[in-house]
Chain A
Amino acid sequence: MLKLKAKLSSILSNQGPKTLFDKIWSEHLVGQREDGTSLLYIDRHLVHEVTSPQAFEGLKISNRPVHRPEATIAVADHNVPTINRQNIEDPQSKIQVETLAKNTKEHGIQYFDLMDQRQGIVHIIGPEQGITQPGMTIVCGDSHTSTHGAFGALAFGIGTSEVEHVLATQTIVQNPAKNMRISVNGDLPFGVNSKDLILYIIGKIGTAGGTGHVIEYAGSSIMGLSMEGRMTICNMSIEAGARAGLISPDQTTFNYIQGRPYAPGADHWDQAVEYWSSLPSDNDANYDHEIVIDSSEIDPMVTWGTSPEDVVSVKGLVPNPSSAQTENKKKSIERSLEYMGLKPGTKITDIKLDKIFIGSCTNGRIEDLRKVASIVKNKKIASHVQAMIVPGSGLVKKQAEEEGIDIILKDAGFEWREAGCSMCLGMNPDQLKPGERCASTSNRNFEGRQGRGGRTHLMSPELAAASAITGNISDIRDFT
Chain B
Amino acid sequence: MDKFNSLKGIAAPLPIVNIDTDMIIPKQFLKTIKRTGLGVSLFYEMRYDNDGNIIKDFVLNTSPFDQSKILVAGDNFGCGSSREHAPWSLKDFGIKCVISTSFADIFYNNCFQNGILPIVVSPEQLDQLMMAATNQVEFSIDLPEQTIKAGNHSINFEIEEFRKDRLLQGLDDIGITLGYQDKISAYEEDKKNKKPWLFKDN
Other A-B pairs beyond A141-B84, A452-B26, 10, CB < 8 Å: A31-B183, A33-B162, A34-B161, A43-B198, A57-B33, A71-B201, A143-B80, A160-B84, A165-B173, A171-B184
Interface string of B7-42 (1 = CB under 8 A from A): 000000001111010110011101111110000000
Q: At the interface, yes or no: A285 with Cβ under 8 Å from chain B? A: no
Tell whether, in the assembled complex, residue B32 and residue A92 are in contact, meaning their CB atoms are under 8 Å apart: yes
Closest residue of chain B to A145 (Cβ to Cβ) is B82
- Which parts of B161-184 form the interface with A (CB within 8 Å)? 161-163, 173-174, 177-178, 180-181, 183-184
Total interface residues on B, CB under 8 Å, equals 59
Tell whether, in the assembled complex, residue A37 and residue B33 are in contact, meaning their CB atoms are under 8 Å apart: no
**Contact partners of A90 in chain B: CB under 8 A:** 31
**Contact partners of A165 in chain B: CB under 8 A:** 173-174, 177
Q: At the interface, yes or no: B47 with Cβ under 8 Å from chain A? A: no
Expressed in whole angstroms, the minimum distance between the Cβ of A37 and any Cβ of chain B is: 4
8 nearest A-B pairs in the assembled complex, by CB-CB distance: A70-B201, A161-B113, A264-B197, A92-B31, A53-B33, A159-B84, A159-B110, A268-B197
Q: At the interface, yes or no: A207 with Cβ under 8 Å from chain B? A: yes
Tell whether, in the assembled complex, residue A95 and residue B22 are in contact, meaning their CB atoms are under 8 Å apart: no
Q: At the interface, yes or no: A93 with Cβ under 8 Å from chain B? A: yes
Tell whether, in the assembled complex, residue A211 and residue B50 are in contact, meaning their CB atoms are under 8 Å apart: no
Tell whether, in the assembled complex, residue B198 and residue A452 are in contact, meaning their CB atoms are under 8 Å apart: no
Tell whether, in the assembled complex, residue A30 and residue B81 are in contact, meaning their CB atoms are under 8 Å apart: no
Q: At the interface, yes or no: A378 with Cβ under 8 Å from chain B? A: no
Tell whether, in the assembled complex, residue B113 and residue A30 are in contact, meaning their CB atoms are under 8 Å apart: no
Closest residue of chain B to A240 (Cβ to Cβ) is B79
User: How far apart are the CA atoms of A90 and B74 in the complex, in Å?
Assistant: 36
A170 with B110: in contact, given A208-B75, A208-B76 (CB under 8 Å)?
no
Tell whether, in the assembled complex, residue A159 and residue B160 are in contact, meaning their CB atoms are under 8 Å apart: no
**Contact partners of B87 in chain A: CB under 8 A:** 159
Q: Which of A173, A243, A264 contacts B173 (CB 8 A)?
A: A173
Selected interface stretch from A344-352, A367-375, A442-450, A462-470: A442-450
**Contact partners of A36 in chain B: CB under 8 A:** 160
Give the tally of cross-chain contacts (CB within 8 A): 196
User: How far apart are the CA atoms of A110 and B201 in the complex, in Å?
Assistant: 11
User: How far apart are the CA atoms of A272 and B199 in the complex, in Å?
Assistant: 12
Tell whether, in the assembled complex, residue B105 and residue A212 are in contact, meaning their CB atoms are under 8 Å apart: yes
Tell whether, in the assembled complex, residue A143 and residue B81 are in contact, meaning their CB atoms are under 8 Å apart: yes
Expressed in whole angstroms, the minimum distance between the Cβ of B127 and any Cβ of chain A is: 10
Q: At the interface, yes or no: A328 with Cβ under 8 Å from chain B? A: yes
**Contact partners of B196 in chain A: CB under 8 A:** 268, 271
User: How far apart are the CA atoms of A158 and B104 in the complex, in Å?
Assistant: 12
Closest residue of chain B to A449 (Cβ to Cβ) is B22
Q: Which of A54, A173, A211, A271 contacts B197 (CB 8 A)?
A: A271
Q: List 13 A-B contacts (CB under 8 A).
A: A36-B160, A41-B187, A41-B191, A68-B201, A165-B173, A208-B75, A211-B104, A211-B105, A241-B104, A425-B22, A426-B27, A434-B50, A444-B22
Q: At the interface, yes or no: A265 with Cβ under 8 Å from chain B? A: yes
Q: Which of B74, B110, B160, B198 contacts A35 (CB 8 A)?
A: B160
Q: At the interface, yes or no: B106 with Cβ under 8 Å from chain A? A: yes
Tell whether, in the assembled complex, residue B160 and residue A175 are in contact, meaning their CB atoms are under 8 Å apart: yes
Tell whether, in the assembled complex, residue B31 and residue A93 are in contact, meaning their CB atoms are under 8 Å apart: yes
Expressed in whole angstroms, the minimum distance between the Cβ of B176 and any Cβ of chain A is: 8
